[in-house]
Amino acid sequence: MKKTTFSTLALFLGPGLAVLLIFFFLPVMAAFILSFTDFNIYSLGNPDYLRFVGFDNYMKLFSDDMFWTALKNTFYFVIAGGPLSIAASLGAAILLNSKLIRFKGIFRLTYFLPVVTTLVAVAIVWRYIYHPRYGLLNYFLGFCGIDPLDWLGDPHLAMPAIIIMAVWKNFGYNMIIFIAGLQNIPEELYEAASLEGASAWQKFRNITLPMLAPTTIFITIITMIGYFQLFAEPYVMTQGGPLNSTLSIVLYMYQEGFRWWNIGYSTAIAFSLFIIILIGTVIQFRVQKALEK
């Protein structure tokens, strides 16, 4: 095959690459430059009021309690919510992969419903479900003898409440990927293990988990990237409160950027998030490499 001509290339790749360049790569670079300036509301009114401040914005992050709070909350969400939602996905996938269950399609569909629904709408629904007096959750907990909890009003409970909702919303997505992974495991492995008298747990431990490792790594990475970008849930449900207990990095970035127009600072926050995600991804790739060996 000979090389494709330039005009054909331009026709096919031009539009896509142009859009990506104008609306993604150049903005990333612009944001990077902005993060070294003190662009804020004054600069918006008068471009003379703009200074290059070097690493000041990044240094300021270190002494900014709000940023640390946001960081802590985001890590809380990622570290507690991530594994929880992956475990829920895996559990559901194994359940639906079982040969004993019929009507798989219906179950799968039901489990998947929260994934496709609009986050803002379900966040509003959950706000009412979490209502301390009239909410369904407290009502059902009441049957188990648990006193009403103020889910979104108590600083210790607000983040768990958001995590519960996020797990509910997201587990269906990864479940599908896990099901695909499970179906790729050769049946003979299980049969052989059964012949040797392995228990269900042993089979899970020695066959399912290792065979699913690549899928799990993939899921961990996409879940982590997604969860680090927590925004709409706290924006709609708690506005970051109470006591900043649900202030996430993206929410903080949004507030600094679009509420107060501290753009320089806000882009610095965004890049810190990028660096954190980058480190997280690299670590997981390393883990993957180590596992493969």
214 contacts other proteins (rule: CB under 8 A): yes
Closest CA to 233 of 152, 177, 156: 152
Exactly one of 132, 141, 190, 203 binds other proteins (CB under 8 A); which one? 132
281 contacts other proteins (rule: CB under 8 A): yes
If 0-12 CB within 10 Å is exposed, 13-18 middle and 19+ buried, where does residue 191 land? exposed
Distance CA 34, CA 52 (A): 9
Q: Are 241 and 130 in contact (CB under 8 A)?
A: no
**Would you call 83 helix, strand, or coil by DSSP?**
helix
Exactly one of 87, 210, 258, 283 binds other proteins (CB under 8 A); which one? 258
Shortest spacing between CB 83 and other proteins, in angstroms? 18
133 contacts other proteins (rule: CB under 8 A): yes
Exactly one of 75, 190, 204, 218 binds other proteins (CB under 8 A); which one? 218
117 contacts other proteins (rule: CB under 8 A): yes
Q: Applying CB under 8 A, which part among 74-82, 114-122, 190-198, 204-212 lies near other proteins?
A: 114-122
Q: Are 141 and 149 in contact (CB under 8 A)?
A: yes
73 contacts other proteins (rule: CB under 8 A): no
77 contacts other proteins (rule: CB under 8 A): no
Q: Which is nearer to other proteins, 51 or 205 (CB)?
A: 51
- Give how many residues touch other proteins by CB under 8 A: 112
The tokens for 200 are: 């269900």
Q: Are 257 and 263 in contact (CB under 8 A)?
A: yes
Enumerate residues 16-45 that contact other proteins by CB under 8 A: 16-17, 19-20, 22-28, 30-31, 34, 38, 40-42, 44-45
55 contacts other proteins (rule: CB under 8 A): no
287 contacts other proteins (rule: CB under 8 A): no
Task: For tokens 């300021």, name the residue.
Answer: 60
Distance CA 29, CA 52 (A): 15
60 contacts other proteins (rule: CB under 8 A): yes
177 contacts other proteins (rule: CB under 8 A): yes
Distance CA 245, CA 152 (A): 10
Shortest spacing between CB 280 and other proteins, in angstroms? 9
Exactly one of 243, 283, 287, 291 binds other proteins (CB under 8 A); which one? 243
Return the ∠ at Cα 76 (arms to 208 and 156), rounded to 5°. Answer: 120
Distance CA 172, CA 88 (A): 9
Enumerate residues 141-170 that contact other proteins by CB under 8 A: 150, 153-154, 168
If 0-12 CB within 10 Å is exposed, 13-18 middle and 19+ buried, where does residue 18 land? exposed
Exactly one of 79, 87, 124, 146 binds other proteins (CB under 8 A); which one? 124
Shortest spacing between CB 50 and other proteins, in angstroms? 10
The one-character DSSP state at 24 is I
13 contacts other proteins (rule: CB under 8 A): yes
Q: Which is nearer to other proteins, 46 or 191 (CB)?
A: 46
Shortest spacing between CB 162 and other proteins, in angstroms? 14
Distance CA 36, CA 196 (A): 64
Distance CA 167, CA 85 (A): 5
Q: Are 284 and 291 in contact (CB under 8 A)?
A: no
